[in-house]
């Protein structure tokens, strides 16, 4: 689990400045927004604490993440605009199965990630239970849930975002994000 700072959160259609000399990667994710706070929420009750779901893009600057004597994973995910969310907040009851949604993303029209939320390591209810076992969740808390295979760092050769790239991310039943990258 990684934290994100408020300054990293942005809207669904944005221009994102790439850090100079970096290796910025993409990670499409389902985002759960807490509506009803809770502490020590049981997994079976977790969905009742969710106000809605959105599309998220967990942009990650890999050099910053791995810099120093100890990795700084959250810091590399927290540059301005590195957490676009949107385009809508969809209540779980509006989806046929909120535990099984297709998600993916494409760079300049080339699909780079595609998966289903049923294959996440930790489903939304498990994340809510795990987080709320440690800290009270508050209305408005935003939880990025995990990403399918296909990130740039995991490719051979590795691939990262470049100025001029357009990244379109989607989650079934929710919509899409569109980020354009500049130097």
What average pLDDT score do residues 6-32 get?
97
pLDDT of residue 3: 85
Q: How does pLDDT run across 34-61, given as a tens digit for each residue?
A: 999 999 999 999 999 999 999 999 999 9
Chain-wide mean pLDDT for the chain? 96
pLDDT of residue 177: 98
pLDDT of residue 143: 97
Cβ contact 171:60 at 8 Å: no
What average pLDDT score do residues 146-172 get?
97
Could you tell me the CA-to-CA distances from 91 to 1, 31, 94, 131 in Å, in that order? 23, 12, 6, 21
């Amino acid at each position: 689990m990684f934290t994100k700072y408020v300054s990293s959160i942005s809207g669904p259609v944005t221009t994102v400045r790439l850090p100079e000399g970096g290796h910025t990667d993409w990670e499409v994710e389902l985002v759960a927004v807490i509506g009803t706070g809770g502490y020590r929420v049981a997994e079976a009750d977790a969905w009742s604490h969710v106000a809605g779901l959105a599309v998220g893009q967990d942009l990650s600057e890999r050099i910053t993440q791995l810099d120093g004597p100890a990795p700084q994973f959250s810091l590399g995910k927290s540059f301005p605009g590195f957490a676009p969310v949107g385009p809508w907040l969809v209540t779980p009851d509006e989806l046929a199965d909120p535990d099984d949604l297709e998600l993916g993303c494409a760079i300049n029209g080339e699909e780079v990630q595609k998966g289903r939320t049923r294959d996440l390591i930790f489903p939304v209810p498990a994340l809510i239970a795990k987080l709320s076992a440690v800290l009270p969740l508050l209305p408005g808390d935003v939880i990025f849930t995990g990403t399918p295979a296909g990130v740039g760092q995991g490719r051979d050769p590795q691939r990262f975002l470049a100025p001029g790239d357009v990244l379109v991310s989607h989650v079934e039943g929710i919509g899409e994000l569109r980020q354009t990258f500049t130097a």
